Amino acid sequence: MSNKVKYAERRVKKKQGILKVIKERDIDNVCKRTSKKVFEYQKAGDKDRVSVLRYLLSQIKNKEIEMRVDGCTPSKEDIVQIIRKQIKQRQQSADLYRQGKREELAEKEEHEKELLAEILEYVENF
């Protein structure tokens, strides 16, 4: 094997390693910022945002544990997928509450869906 090929292989491996570190840092940054936001909202007394963010963090941690078996970490796309899934769940819950004539619970689900949409926008622009 020529030196050029070996050099090219080392560059590719190095680049892949750097990308993996960047992805891990993205996840860590999102989790750290979200944890800080939870703390800020607790101080402000915003219980709705605290509960939504805590649930989101738990889902991210679950995904991280699930992917750890394969030696991977969740990417930004995985987090976006988790948030979109939660938004869809909130919409379905709100629809079911409306069918059951539970408007106050449907409104709560709609509010949580709006909060998740804000978080989704933030994460996509991160």
Q: Which domains does the chain have, with CATH numbers?
A: 3-124 (1.10.1510.10)
Q: Return the minimum-mean-pLDDT range out of 13-27, 33-47, 61-75, 78-92.
A: 13-27
Whether residue 44 has pLDDT greater than 60: yes
Whether residue 101 has pLDDT greater than 90: yes
Classify the phi-psi angles of 71: left when phi > 0, otherwise alpha if psi is within -120 to 50, otherwise beta.
Answer: left
pLDDT band at 6 (very low <50, low <70, confident <90, very high): low
- Across residues 8-35, what is the average pLDDT? 55
d(Cα 89, Cα 92) in Å, to the nearest integer?
Answer: 5
Angle at alpha carbon of residue 125, lines to 123 and 126, rounded to 5°:
65
